[in-house]
Structure 1
């Protein structure tokens, strides 16, 4: 039998042990965490929608009308009017012919990838893709070829040397680096080499593109360019669940083949109703994205002037590169002592030697909130200075 206790201890010794923190009250910049108020800079609530009163009002009304539970899978008796309306709304929002509503982004990626590729097929996956994409590739039983992050030349060489059914899968915005995939070039390569392109835009939906329609829409790429678009609703949209959008033929195929859609209970109808309300707000409240852009610019300028190493990201995901696991934990704890919550991200979520603080900004942050973060980073700069002096 495996020594599970020894494995846990090894994680502790390596600075990789993870601990859940308990949050009370609504998700917003000022959180109550383990009974203590903290100003959070680690949420994916990019537009500040998670605690929007209109969404709570709509969800409460929908629960009064339709109850809470989904009660059954979509293919039994769980596919409610509210789910159908949301799918139509998502298709319109993304400029696609059709859409399916999944329970989570993880389930969407696993179900879609495993349905669209199988034994004898080949999947090409960006080396920094999310764990849900990686697991979907494994579940498919297809051959998986990982190409260097964002390297379209390497991908083209792989595509040229591969026959049969081919699937290219990428994040739109990469969750730990904050950079954006070269989607236009990927679309061109997939057309040239007859590969099906799947884009998971979990961190772009709501934030990027016209009216928040995502990184694919920002480039003006159509359904023909990106046939399969996946997105989550618990980040920029502020509710829960996920979706896949694309041609009606493929959506019908997924209804028949995507196991994570077929064999799970449908999400509560109230969540679908609240999501429709959120999409309306996301489309029309451009001021949220404009404020977010100002926050991102001010953060990058301030952190860079202090000597922090940032990554080339124009999204709300702004990693501060540290490298050492223990040093990342030390910087995170020092900020928490100052009332700031910024999570240290360590392997295997990121590659070995690339531990970091993953700063995420929200339209719900005020400029004064950002200034508190910059002041805290200034106060704590000596932690990294000491490490850099040791290296020298």
Structure 2
């Protein structure tokens, strides 16, 4: 919900100091964060061996279903024997397994193409661009600059439905989130960027965000605004006159 990236190096240092176990949830980072999509450990250039349990999902970057737990062999063997998800659930179907395998090969470049790394780089570019433009407009957003999950703060519960309806009228579907999924005073719209989003798509969304932000008074930031075009200004001679 926050679009934040864990301060992994500091947590690893605490883990080693106090001899604790570290469990890392990479549901939103595997295949999306890091120069080659290997997640938060790659982003911070730390060894995956310093993480005792790594959990992720196959439903996001891999476009499939299910998830995984990674760790030392003793841990994995124990979970296979005692975990309810392993003992009582059915195995993944061959089609889903093949989808995960193909997606991994694409990301790792083992399919003989550069498509995987191109998409990861495109996602990083889209993320930085979208976040920077929203900040320039005056919106308050949470999270790390490298996170493709972009929460735009609406704050007031009464504006949540109004924002969603205004965007839908502009043919843009948005996910809005409020209490109890967030604190009652921190309602938000939650954008999840994709490598498939073109610059034209992002600019179209940003244009309408600019309009709706002014209409509903959602630009709470005190930062200096950029020279982003005002929504009321047109380009034809009739409007300009």
TM-score range, shorter chain: 0.7 to 0.9
CA RMSD in angstroms, aligned pairs only: 1.7
CA change 1:373–1:386 in 2 (3 A) is closer
Distance 1:256 1:279 in 2: 26
Q: Which residue of 2 aligns with 1:234?
A: 59
In the TM superposition, residue 387 of structure 1 has moved relative to its aligned partner by: 9.6
- Partners of 2:12 and 2:132 in 1: CA distance: 33
1:289 aligns with 2:120: yes
Helix, strand or coil at the partner of 1:311: coil
Q: CA deviation at 1:330?
A: 1.0
Contact 1:196 1:227 in 2 (8 A): yes
| 261-270 or 239-248: bigger deviation | 261-270
**SS of structure 2 residue aligned to 1:196:** coil
Q: Is the 8 A contact 2:41 2:48 kept in 1?
A: no
Aligned CA distance change for structure 1 residues 227 and 189 (closer, same or farther; 3 Å): same
**What is the distance in 2 between the residues matched to 1:386 and 1:347?**
18
CA distance in 2 between partners of 1:372 and 1:307 (Å): 17
Query: Alpha-carbon deviation of 1:226?
Result: 0.1
Deviation at 1:197, TM superposition (A): 0.6
TM-score by length of 2: 0.83
Moved >4 Å (runs of 4+): none
Residue 29 (structure 2) aligned to one of 196, 204, 208: 204
Distance 1:233 1:178 in 2: 19
Secondary structure in 1 matching 2:153: strand
The answer for the alignment partner of 1:323 in structure 2 is 155
Per-residue displacement from partner, 1:241-281 (whole Å, max 9, x unpaired)? 10011110110111122112211111212101111001011
Matched, 1:382 2:214: yes
CA distance in 2, matches of 1:339, 1:213: 34
8 A contact 2:213–2:219 mirrored in 1: no
Please give the secondary structure, in 2, of the residue aligned with 1:180. Answer: coil
Deviations 1:162-190 (A, max 9, x none): xxxxxxxxxxxxxx111111111111211
Closer, same or farther: CA 238–251 of 1 in aligned 2, 3 Å: same
For these two proteins, the number of residue pairs brought into alignment is 213
**C-alpha distance in 1, partners of 2:35/2:130?**
23
Q: Aligned with 1:380: secondary structure?
A: helix
Aligned pairs (5 A) from 1:61-210 = 176-210=1-35
Whether the aligned pair in 1 keeps the contact of 2:143 and 2:151 (CA below 8 Å) is: no
- Structure with greater strand share of residues: 1
| 1-structure distance, mates of 2:4, 2:78 | 32
CA distance in 2, matches of 1:387, 1:208: 28
- Structure 1, unmatched stretches of 5+, are 1-175
- What SS does the corresponding residue of 1:313 show, helix, strand or coil? coil
Match of 1:272 in 2: 97
CA distance in structure 2 between the aligned counterparts of 1:263 and 1:186, rounded to whole angstroms: 34
Q: CA deviation at 1:212?
A: 0.9
Q: Counterparts of 1:205 and 1:387 in 2: how far apart (Å)?
A: 32
Further displaced range: 354-363 or 260-269: 260-269
Hey, what's the Cα distance between the residues in 2 that align with 1:204 and 1:354? 23
Q: Alpha carbons of 1:351 and 1:234: their partners in 2 closer, same or farther (altered >3 Å)?
A: same
The equivalent of 1:222 in structure 2 is 47
Instruction: Flag structure 2 segments of 5+ consecutive residues without an equivalent.
Output: 110-115, 221-241
Q: Which residue of 2 is the match for residue 10 of structure 1?
A: none
The residue that corresponds to 2:172 in the other structure is 340
Residues of 1 paired with 2:48 and 2:218: CA distance?
51
**How high is the TM-score relative to the length of structure 1?**
0.52
> Aligned to 1:357, what secondary structure does the other structure show?
strand
After superposition, where does 1:353-392 map in structure 2 within 5 Å?
353-385=185-217
